[in-house]
A and B are shown apart, each in its own frame.
Chain A
């Protein structure tokens, strides 16, 4: 690697990543007590996440994973999405399908009038060496063997209860504790600082010291949207797909523009959650994986200070 030839930004990124890996390694060494760790700066452990937040976080992680994978299994029973109340089978909005002959086919993804070759991933995928026509691949669905709509539904509707109960408990907790107002509700300042925050995030410059005790603006906005917009939306669009719930609450399909629109929005929400998981996990790793993980397990997050804290 010739450092001189590298563009400055990539050099910064590499250096930042390297320093993060170093820090991770320091923590790992300290953990197994191979050698005493010499911190770069004095630090102290700050009690960041209370027991309810930690418990609800992990229960949520499990139920979301089961919901996602069983949801993909259910989706595979009819891997097309539509707008409106009924399905216009000739013009799906999205369709995971296969093209070709019985013996020689490949998976394609149709979005509106665009067509993408997604062979092996979407539309057709391997099943112990033989290729099958299938929306999402086996490794992404629960249960793995596809089609198994009946079992996918059993898992989905059981963990839906856990997800909703968990979500309601979390709502109750954050409102009662004031955490909503002080940690989750984006402020005017957050919006004003947004460009600078984005620039800092892109340069992988994360808050240190006292600043790290609170969520930054981007975190507040993201958590607000994910928890208070996507969360209720995915639950309500899910309920809209139930014919009995529609008879009890006829405004549900009306609000979402029809049962098929609700199904499409449900799917878009699910993949917005997937996008959130990916960014969430990448940010956890980049901003100090052990410190973040520890704070979500023991509650304690290391804050770097200039002066040692007694």
Chain B
């Protein structure tokens, strides 16, 4: 019943958008919260339709060694360059710990050595940036589903939230003179994407230890998603029932800037 009502109100409002388009122009409409609401509803439709076709196990195409790009383009943060991070760079990340917590039975901390000791997966895949470009590279890492299985998510866990070490921007001073620290990058996947066989915590690129510009010591690879869904410099993995209370509440740093949470298109 609610579905039908939603669909009807969606259609009515879609018709309203179409009519207003001619009068007001879409640029002004883009400022309207209700327009963004409708466009957001369509995003859910896109996600459901794509999931219908791709399911939970359709694999991203894997390529041959010959297809690997000579230089893999680095994008986003190229170096977190915080005091804390620089100490880890200097020590070769031997003290870097990945915390797994939240709605799990068995919270734990993993060192890079422990992560590397786990079974690994190597995949030559195409990285698709939201901007439009693509790059092919070979990634080696630990399947995220093994880490999740170890931590044993509770029944109410729906999302995996990744907290990263890269600050997004510079510290600023607000109106009352307080120093405001920039947010750290964060992202989230639902369990379907997080437990996909090609979703790995990667610590090698093209057979080499992951370089700083690509997210050393460890970054996420979710091969059916766009680049911004694959956080670099991962330091904490949290299982949660919702991401509403994290950051701006939209599920990721870029999502809080207006990008879609669903990054499969």
Q: Do the two chains bind?
A: yes
B46 at the interface (CB under 8 A from A): yes
Contact with B along A144-182 (1 / 0, CB 8 A): 110011110111011001100000000000000000000
**C-alpha spacing A98/B123, complex, angstroms:** 37
A-B contact count (CB 8 A): 134
Q: Is the CB–CB distance between B260 and A85 below 8 Å?
A: no
Q: Is the CB–CB distance between B265 and A145 below 8 Å?
A: no
B108 at the interface (CB under 8 A from A): no
A contacts with B, residue count (CB < 8 A)? 43
**C-alpha spacing A74/B38, complex, angstroms:** 20
Do A155 and B30 contact each other (CB < 8 Å), given the known contacts A242-B265, A243-B225, A249-B53? Answer: yes
Q: Which of B43, B45, B67, B131 contacts A77 (CB 8 A)?
A: B131
Chain A: which residue is nearest B58 at the CB level?
A: A247
Q: Is the CB–CB distance between A242 and B38 below 8 Å?
A: no
CB distance from B19 to the nearest CB of A (A): 10
8 chain-A/chain-B pairs, Cβ below 8 angstroms: A82-B133, A87-B73, A151-B30, A154-B40, A241-B132, A243-B223, A243-B225, A245-B265
Q: Which of B14, B26, B260 contacts A162 (CB 8 A)?
A: B14
A250 at the interface (CB under 8 A from B): yes
- Interface centre among B54, B55, B59, by most chain A C-beta atoms within 10 angstroms, is B54
Q: Is the CB–CB distance between A86 and B50 below 8 Å?
A: no
Query: Which bracket fits the contact residues of B?
Result: 35 or more
Q: Is the CB–CB distance between A89 and B264 below 8 Å?
A: no
Q: Is the CB–CB distance between B54 and A244 below 8 Å?
A: yes
**B1-56: which residues lie under 8 A (CB-CB) from chain A?**
14, 18, 21-22, 26-27, 30, 36, 38-40, 42-43, 45-46, 50-51, 53-55
Do A59 and B18 contact each other (CB < 8 Å), given the known contacts A78-B131, A85-B136, A244-B265? Answer: yes
Interface, chain A (partner B; CB < 8 A): 59, 62, 66, 69, 74-75, 77-78, 80, 82, 85-87, 89, 142-145, 148-151, 153-155, 157-158, 161-162, 241-250, 253, 259-260, 263
Do A85 and B18 contact each other (CB < 8 Å), given the known contacts A144-B27, A154-B260? Answer: no
**C-alpha spacing A246/B69, complex, angstroms:** 19
Specify which chain A residues have a CB less than 8 angstroms from the CB of B30 in the assembled complex. Answer: 142-143, 148, 151, 155
Q: Is the CB–CB distance between B226 and A243 below 8 Å?
A: yes
Specify which chain B residues have a CB less than 8 angstroms from the CB of A242 in the assembled complex. Answer: 50, 264-265
Instruction: Given contacts A153-B130, A154-B39, A247-B224, list 13 more A-B pairs with CB under 8 A.
Output: A77-B132, A143-B30, A149-B259, A150-B257, A157-B42, A158-B39, A242-B265, A243-B60, A244-B53, A245-B54, A246-B61, A248-B50, A263-B132
**C-alpha spacing A86/B134, complex, angstroms:** 5
Interface, chain B (partner A; CB < 8 A): 14, 18, 21-22, 26-27, 30, 36, 38-40, 42-43, 45-46, 50-51, 53-55, 58-61, 63, 67, 69, 73, 126, 128-136, 223-226, 254, 257-260, 264-265
Specify which chain B residues have a CB less than 8 angstroms from the CB of A78 in the assembled complex. Answer: 129, 131-133
Chain A: which residue is nearest B19 at the CB level?
A: A62
**C-alpha spacing A145/B264, complex, angstroms:** 25
Q: Is the CB–CB distance between A243 and B224 below 8 Å?
A: yes
**C-alpha spacing A250/B39, complex, angstroms:** 28
Q: Is the CB–CB distance between B50 and A245 below 8 Å?
A: yes
Do A247 and B132 contact each other (CB < 8 Å), given the known contacts A143-B26, A242-B265, A253-B61? Answer: no
Q: What 6 A-B pairs come out closest when comparing CB atoms?
A: A244-B264, A150-B258, A248-B53, A242-B265, A248-B54, A78-B131
Specify which chain A residues have a CB less than 8 angstroms from the CB of B51 in the assembled complex. Answer: 244
Chain A: which residue is nearest B129 at the CB level?
A: A78
Specify which chain A residues have a CB less than 8 angstroms from the CB of B259 in the assembled complex. Answer: 149-150, 153
Q: Is the CB–CB distance between A142 and B225 below 8 Å?
A: no
**C-alpha spacing A242/B265, complex, angstroms:** 4
